[in-house]
Amino acid sequence: MYVEVVGAEKCAKKIEDVGKRLPKAVNRASWNFMQTLASRYRKWSSAGHKGSGYLSSTKGTFAKKIGEGEYAIFMPYYTRFLESRTGRHPIPKTWKTMLWAKKHGMGFYQMKGRIMAKGTDPHPFTTRILMEEYNKLPSRLQKHISAAISR
């Protein structure tokens, strides 16, 4: 019996190249996931809102690399107050609060009275958007890995 293997070196080289490209493909898919997530958060915050502020801006909500293969989304501090109901609390009369009331079609004292009486309603959105994007992650990974293998 005689077996001849032709092109084994070429095949080994191709496998080695794919092994080098796979981690980069996974990193690209992860970065793409985080960028899309930040974009969806910004889009939600500006939908149907007048002057949604820093949350809808690329300066306020953005993805950032924090380490090798590690990414995070940075959002304004007040996002946690949007996510959950706030209790009754005083509102200082500053230019920002007066502008916010005006943009939302209220007078300052009307807004202040409502928040001091009832607090604010919750507007949860981060978990819902995260789960929607998380469910798309396997296909996103598959696309990037397939592209890395087919090169």
> Residue 73: its pLDDT value, please?
92
Tens digits of residue pLDDT in 46-55: 776 655 678 8
151/86: higher pLDDT: 86
Q: pLDDT higher for 123 or 62?
A: 62
Residues 24 and 128: their CA atoms lie apart, in Å, by 28
Domain boundaries, the chain: 11-84+124-150, 85-121
pLDDT value at residue 5: 64
* Spatial separation of the C-alpha atoms in residues 65 and 77, rounded to whole Å: 19
Q: Can you give the pTM of this predicted structure? A: 0.73
Q: What is the pLDDT of residue 1?
A: 67
Q: Worst-scoring range by mean pLDDT, 5-9, 37-41, 128-132?
A: 5-9
User: What length is written for the chain?
Assistant: 151
Q: Give the CB-side neighbour count of residue 24, counting CA atoms within 13 A.
A: 9
Mean pLDDT of 17-37: 86
Distance CA 123, CA 27 (A): 32
Q: What is the pLDDT of residue 71?
A: 93
Neighbour tally for 6: CB within 10 Å: 7
- Across 75-145, where does the E strand assignment appear? none
Coil, helix or strand for 91?
coil
